[in-house]
Amino acid sequence: AAIVRVFRDQGPREARNRSRFAFLVDDWGVARVRAAVEEACGRSLEPAGEDARGPNRTDHIGIYRQKDGRSFVGVVVPGGRVTAVQLAEVARLAETYGSGEVRFTTEQNLIIPNISDPGLRELTQEPLLKELPYNPPEILRGFVVCTGIDFCDLALIDTKARALPMTRALAARLADRKEPLRMHWSGCPAGCGNHQLADIGFEGTKVRVNNKVVEAVDVWVGGRSGPEPRPGQRIMENVPLSDLPEVLEYLARFFPKQRVARARTQ
Ligand code: SF4
């Protein structure tokens, strides 16, 4: 509540796309924000604990053994959009094969935990797991998209509607790709899709082409999160979405493979 009060009273309001807590931290710096939060809650805050993140990351997609001998199955929700019918079916699967529990991941995917071995095989044969696969192509596996224009007034492009077909088409063309690839889309500079932390990131914008305003993106590459985070670099600006499939395929085929290969030899 103290953080919310600080943001409510002190957060930037000049432009709607800067009305985010992140921009207040950016403007003030961590020390000043911390002091303001401490003042708002009337006590000093505990210092940060030890960073528990390791060099390896997991997206929880696939089938994994739990410590108690049961398993969990992580499935991809392509583009992070699940229908009510799919969600009801996920609930049925969780009740039938698991303990009725479902978890959401930070990458917009789902986990069904607590599945015993006899149910595991049947679960993986369920039709829903063709739509929400536990063994997706790599291109689809690391794909994250912000809410976009349907539910966000700030969106400059229709991220969900544009990104998913483009990514599915790319996944079909690069079906034999084995290297991980994280592609994140944000519909505006607020960056809810964390495009600066992906191998390839897209930031929505508008551009004028032949006197017509069209949807476009700035392209970022080379970002990463984790214990040694690094923001990506913007390498292209104002790429119309109509031109993007070609650009995307080039980047997906060449740049991240080299980056991953370098990372493994370091
Ligand atoms: S990044 Fe996407 S969800 Fe976030 S404010 Fe921009 S358009 Fe909205």
CA of 210 to the centre of ligand 1 (A): 27
The domain 139-265 is placed in CATH, from the list 3.40.710.10, 3.30.565.10, 3.30.413.10, 1.10.1060.10, at 3.30.413.10
CA of 203 to the centre of ligand 1 (A): 9
- Which position has the higher pLDDT, 103 or 226? 103
Task: Decide if pLDDT at 260 tops 70.
Answer: no
- Whether the CB of 152 sits within 6 Å of ligand 1: yes
Contact assessment for residue 124 and residue 73, using Cβ atoms and an 8 Å cutoff: yes
User: For the chain, which residues make up each domain, given as ranges?
Assistant: 2-41, 62-135, 139-265
| Ligand 1 lined by 201 (C-beta under 6 Å) | no
Helix pair 244-265, 159-173: axis angle to 10 deg: 70
Residue bearing the CA closest to ligand 1, atom 7? 155
Residue 259's pLDDT is: 53
Tokens of 171: 């996944």
Cα of 214 vs centre of ligand 1, distance in Å, is 18
pLDDT for residue 255: 64
Q: What residue's CA is closest to ligand 1, atom 4?
A: 192
* Tokens describing residue 77: 């929700």
Q: What is the average pLDDT across 160-180?
A: 92
Q: Domain 62-135 belongs to what topology?
A: Alpha-Beta Plaits (3.30.70)
pLDDT of residue 265: 37
